[in-house]
Chain A
């Protein structure tokens, strides 16, 4: 009842927004919906879904952004999603965003949308650019020929959007037309369609004329998904009966015949309505491409761009990472400890809150700056059009190991942090490419592994630290290549991805689009990752502190787990419970391995001095910290353009740990241990990223097995091989 009343007072209207990739669809939706946009995933798949509900006049408008597609044929996941939505969810209206600079190809999708028999409103977008090119588009004529409304828009300047909303309003106020005007192809084809319609009509009485015609076209086209959905088994008979002359007259299959017919309309229409200048001047895109895709300059420019992005991402983020780390580990920790102590909480509870919960929250928060910075740059690369060029330049090399040109960027980011790089795989269109890339990302040695390398190499190979580091990175890349090839031959056997990719014109993405995208991603991560990390962090705390009142770390659950796991590590050189326990805690993040070792090996190392609690000082500290972070982000950005070197800091407090490690490991075991840490498993936060991107824990599971297997085997070869060669001492 209540529902009905709302419907009566305000009219509900669902609008699906469809269009080609690079048609400015996202910008248009961002401009209309702004912060009301809700970003999620289409159920069960990795494709992003955006929607927004808002009031306009006496309308409740719900806008659903369909994935950008060139067509509605079932070639890609995006196309299937867009199609299923349009067919099953029956939106009231389609807003078709059309790139005015690329009318013909965009109209091909328009024709397919019109076949569906859903009312359509066209937003003729990027109108400014098309005018700048000297194009004259006769908008009235498009309206006449397609019998739809057309609104010129410039989404980047918010121009024409009011008109678009007005048209949506006036559409809603008009009585619904049951049957929409239908497009006509050529006489031969139209006749065949008509005949098929007559034939199937009795069986599909519930479909109106538009839908029947659409179904007939799909039958002739041989669209398997639709045939299956409607239970049509007699396609061959229908074709033989009604389309024989089409096959004979046209020396090709019916699928391309329909595509030809659609393009026939698109081409014909664009010839009719579009007037191009006689001489087309060279465009800015061609000028840029002449340099960026140049035979000799292409690769250096690409590498430079990647280096810049990598540096900027981590240089901007790092000061904030340190700041957040400092706040959660310092003041926040102290405040909570103080607060809890003042209400007489037991010591174990204070420890749980500070060491378990706050430390866990800290772990999530430190990733936020990196995720934000990375999403910002990735969105910029995609929006500007350079991403497609990067893929074009790198494809040959990446294709050699079964990947796609676009795989390079996530892999590169992986050297900073694996988490954003799993998210970055979303720039890949093909599901298989996405998964394959994300499976080898964990072999890119991330920054969190550095503390382990630093401690071990400085303990055992002082003076050769640089070489050891280099060696570890190279081993990681090598293992990535090999395991990529293995995956390609096993899990993804026979699947061949295509590289048919548009190189869109260069465009400046709007700040608003960049911000919305970046913000959405960061927010999503915070919420999702927060929950999991918190759980794992608390779990590890319990492992360390159970059974109750445990004194010796060896008798804690973690110590016991370490003792159980130790024999597995025996053949690779470090079969002791201390190392095993440290490795287990590394599931949160690999740098913790060092922390746990310190805690276990050096019992009183980390006992912090009791500091006077002062809120005033803490607030001041945070304030100064923030100022410093902004300042050093600024300095980092400027130093990116001069000389900047990555330095691995070494905590002086850990020198005691170094001494202990020297007695517990042989140099050979140390190398084996470093290789093991490099490969053994992606951390839980990376796991959350897998879950978020692919909607299942399956790929994280495979990644864990793959990582552990590779780590163990390689460490075994190195350790046992080393022993045989007499490096055992």
Chain B
């Protein structure tokens, strides 16, 4: 399962970051690391991008970017 498939309100943990290069580095710099917990907060009115909460702050990213982030849902 990847981050772009989750619904608002769902909580998950990062298993793997699939992409390489600038996207991966940027995600790492923003604290999107393996093992981190993510809450999907909102989806933009037009369906993309999405807003997540990570490390206690809010981050937005496009679904295409979120699709690179493999997660498992946690309860």
Residues of A with Cβ closer than 8 Å to B? Answer: 70-71, 73, 75, 102, 104-105, 108, 252, 255-256, 259-260, 263, 285, 289, 293-296, 298-299, 388, 392-393, 395-397, 399, 405, 498-504
Within 8 A of A (CB), among B16-59: 17, 22-31, 33-34, 42-49, 51, 55-59
Nearest A residue (CB) for B24: A256
State which size class the interface on B falls in. Answer: 20 to 34
Provided the pairs A70-B30, A255-B25, A263-B33 are in contact, do residues A502 and B58 lie with their beta carbons within 8 angstroms?
yes
For the complex, give the distance between the alpha carbons of A260 and B28 in Å: 8
Q: When A and B form their complex, which 6 residue pairs have the shortest distance between CB atoms, in order from nearest? A: A71-B29, A396-B46, A298-B45, A503-B58, A259-B28, A499-B62
29 contacts between A and B (CB under 8 A): A71-B29, A73-B25, A75-B29, A105-B30, A105-B31, A105-B57, A255-B28, A256-B28, A256-B33, A289-B42, A294-B45, A295-B45, A298-B44, A392-B44, A392-B49, A395-B44, A395-B46, A396-B44, A396-B46, A396-B47, A399-B48, A498-B61, A499-B60, A499-B61, A500-B30, A500-B59, A500-B65, A501-B60, A503-B58
A502 touches B57 (CB 8 A): yes
B51 touches A108 (CB 8 A): no
A502 touches B30 (CB 8 A): yes
Residues of B with Cβ closer than 8 Å to A? Answer: 17, 22-31, 33-34, 42-49, 51, 55-62, 65
A397 touches B46 (CB 8 A): yes
A108 touches B29 (CB 8 A): yes
For the complex, give the distance between the alpha carbons of A298 and B48 in Å: 13
Q: Which residues of B contact A395 (CB under 8 A)?
A: 44, 46, 48-49, 62
B48 touches A102 (CB 8 A): no
For the complex, give the distance between the alpha carbons of A295 and B43 in Å: 8
For the complex, give the distance between the alpha carbons of A503 and B28 in Å: 17
- Min Cβ gap A283→B in Å is 11
A75 touches B22 (CB 8 A): yes
B29 touches A499 (CB 8 A): no
For the complex, give the distance between the alpha carbons of A289 and B56 in Å: 16
B49 touches A503 (CB 8 A): no
- Min Cβ gap B2→A in Å is 16
Q: Which residues of A contact B42 (CB under 8 A)?
A: 289, 293
For the complex, give the distance between the alpha carbons of A293 and B8 in Å: 13
Q: Which residues of B contact A388 (CB under 8 A)?
A: 60
Q: Which residues of B contact A498 (CB under 8 A)?
A: 22-23, 26, 61-62, 65
Q: Which residues of A contact B26 (CB under 8 A)?
A: 75, 498, 500
B31 touches A104 (CB 8 A): yes
- Min Cβ gap A212→B in Å is 24
Q: Give the number of residue pairs across the A-B interface with Cβ within 8 Å.
A: 104
A108 touches B25 (CB 8 A): no
- Min Cβ gap B40→A in Å is 13
- Min Cβ gap A98→B in Å is 13
Q: Which residues of B contact A298 (CB under 8 A)?
A: 44-45
**17 other A-B residue contacts (CB within 8 Å) besides A395-B46, A502-B30:** A70-B30, A73-B25, A73-B29, A105-B31, A256-B24, A256-B34, A293-B44, A294-B45, A295-B45, A296-B45, A298-B45, A396-B44, A396-B48, A396-B49, A405-B49, A499-B60, A502-B59
Instruction: Pick the most buried of B17, B22, B45: most chain A CB atoms within 10 A of its CB.
Output: B45
Q: Which residues of A contact B31 (CB under 8 A)?
A: 104-105, 108, 263
B33 touches A503 (CB 8 A): no
For the complex, give the distance between the alpha carbons of A39 and B43 in Å: 38
Q: Which residues of B contact A105 (CB under 8 A)?
A: 30-31, 55, 57
- Min Cβ gap B70→A in Å is 13
For the complex, give the distance between the alpha carbons of A296 and B46 in Å: 9
For the complex, give the distance between the alpha carbons of A75 and B49 in Å: 21
- Min Cβ gap B10→A in Å is 17
Q: Which residues of A contact B17 (CB under 8 A)?
A: 256
For the complex, give the distance between the alpha carbons of A75 and B44 in Å: 26
Q: Which residues of A contact B24 (CB under 8 A)?
A: 255-256
Q: Which residues of B contact A396 (CB under 8 A)?
A: 44, 46-49
B44 touches A259 (CB 8 A): no
Provided the pairs A397-B46, A499-B62 are in contact, do residues A259 and B51 lie with their beta carbons within 8 angstroms?
no
For the complex, give the distance between the alpha carbons of A392 and B49 in Å: 7
- Min Cβ gap B41→A in Å is 8
- Min Cβ gap B21→A in Å is 10
For the complex, give the distance between the alpha carbons of A288 and B16 in Å: 33
Q: Which residues of B contact A104 (CB under 8 A)?
A: 31, 55-56
Contacting residue for B34 out of A252, A399, A499, CB 8 A: A252
For the complex, give the distance between the alpha carbons of A298 and B46 in Å: 9
For the complex, give the distance between the alpha carbons of A504 and B58 in Å: 7
B45 touches A393 (CB 8 A): yes
For the complex, give the distance between the alpha carbons of A667 and B62 in Å: 48
Q: Which residues of A contact B56 (CB under 8 A)?
A: 102, 104
For the complex, give the distance between the alpha carbons of A397 and B46 in Å: 8
Q: Which residues of B contact A256 (CB under 8 A)?
A: 17, 24, 28, 33-34
For the complex, give the distance between the alpha carbons of A392 and B51 in Å: 8
A293 touches B47 (CB 8 A): no
For the complex, give the distance between the alpha carbons of A311 and B33 in Å: 44
B59 touches A503 (CB 8 A): yes
Q: Which residues of A contact B58 (CB under 8 A)?
A: 285, 502-504
For the complex, give the distance between the alpha carbons of A499 and B56 in Å: 19
Q: Which residues of A contact B59 (CB under 8 A)?
A: 500-503
- Min Cβ gap B57→A in Å is 5
For the complex, give the distance between the alpha carbons of A104 and B31 in Å: 9
Contacting residue for A399 out of B28, B60, B62, CB 8 A: B62
- Min Cβ gap A652→B in Å is 47
Q: Which residues of A contact B27 (CB under 8 A)?
A: 500
- Min Cβ gap A286→B in Å is 9
Nearest B residue (CB) for A289: B42
A503 touches B46 (CB 8 A): no
Q: Which residues of A contact B34 (CB under 8 A)?
A: 252, 256, 260
Q: Which residues of A contact B57 (CB under 8 A)?
A: 102, 105, 502
For the complex, give the distance between the alpha carbons of A498 and B32 in Å: 15
Q: Which residues of A contact B30 (CB under 8 A)?
A: 70, 105, 500, 502
For the complex, give the distance between the alpha carbons of A17 and B65 in Å: 32
Q: Which residues of A contact B55 (CB under 8 A)?
A: 104-105
For the complex, give the distance between the alpha carbons of A108 and B31 in Å: 9
Q: Which residues of B contact A504 (CB under 8 A)?
A: 58
Q: Which residues of A contact B49 (CB under 8 A)?
A: 392, 395-396, 405, 499
For the complex, give the distance between the alpha carbons of A620 and B1 in Å: 74
Contacting residue for A259 out of B33, B43, B48, CB 8 A: B33
